[in-house]
Structure 1
Amino acid sequence: MAFNKKALLKPFKNIFVLILFVFFIWMLFFDANSWLIHRELNHEIDDLEAQKEYYKKEIEKDNKALKKLNNDEGLEKFAREEYYMKRDNEEIFIIEYEDSLKTKDDE
């Protein structure tokens, strides 16, 4: 089975096939709307869709937290847990366990 270069190059002797081949290569790689650019844009769209879903979930979580803070009990619980606030006639004792303390090695 001999390799024949003339048979391989025969379709490129036709000017229409040659122009079609050049046009295909141009559109695939060099044009402003090339396949490579479309591929990059599709990847970027996928990444943005993933970010959109993440932020939607975060918004839902924040809305739930806001609903809890709208009533007095939720607001009081948040103030006590986060800012260690207390009523006038109360005392607060903060108990920290040894494994929950940050040390110089942990930082």
Structure 2
Amino acid sequence: MKKRIEDLLLKYPFLKWATNRFVLATLFFIVWLLFFDTYAFYDHRVIDKEIKKLDNNKEYYQTEINNDDKNIKKLYRKEEVERYAREKYYMKRENEDIYIIDSDKEYTNKEN
């Protein structure tokens, strides 16, 4: 049995290095840290993707907040408040008629 092991070690010299207990312990801990630990490589990738998604959401909402701030500053003027109420809520002045034209509907030809 001992002769077979010596023959294998002579034929494959990397086995001597690979069977070293320190190398085996180091490989075990590397595998453990990459796949099984609570701070595993895969978990970090998932968390990094989520962070990127949240950063994109943050940028989007920050631009929306800036746009809303601009609109709020506009609404300090009486003319802008009136314009906004007329456009969004279809409010009108006395003795005034409002005609709402729905531009989303297309005119269809019934002769087809």
Q: For the superposition of Structure 1 and Structure 2, which TM-score range results when normalised by the shorter chain?
A: 0.7 to 0.9
Matched, 1:69 2:96: no
Alignment partners' CA distance in 2, 1:42 and 1:55:
20
Q: SS of the residue aligned with 1:100?
A: coil
Structure 1 position 25, deviation (Å) = 0.4
Counterpart position of 2:110: none
CA offsets 1:13-65 (integer angstroms, 9 cap, x no match): 10000100011000011001111111111111111111000000010111111
TM-score (norm 1): 0.79
Structure 1 position 7, deviation (Å) = 3.5
User: Residues 47, 5 of structure 1: CA spacing in aligned structure 2 closer, same or farther, 3 A cutoff?
Assistant: farther
Alignment partners' CA distance in 1, 2:26 and 2:83:
72
CA offsets 1:45-89 (integer angstroms, 9 cap, x no match): 11111100000001011111111222101100011111121122x
Matched, 1:30 2:36: yes
Percent sequence identity over aligned pairs: 42
Number of aligned pairs? 98
Counterpart selection for 2:46 from 26, 40, 46: 40
Larger Rg: 2
Alignment root-mean-square deviation, CA: 2.3
Alignment partners' CA distance in 2, 1:80 and 1:59:
23
Alignment partners' CA distance in 1, 2:33 and 2:40:
5
Alignment partners' CA distance in 2, 1:10 and 1:44:
44
Counterpart position of 1:100: 104
Q: Which of structure 1's runs of 4+ aligned residues deviate more than 4 A?
A: none
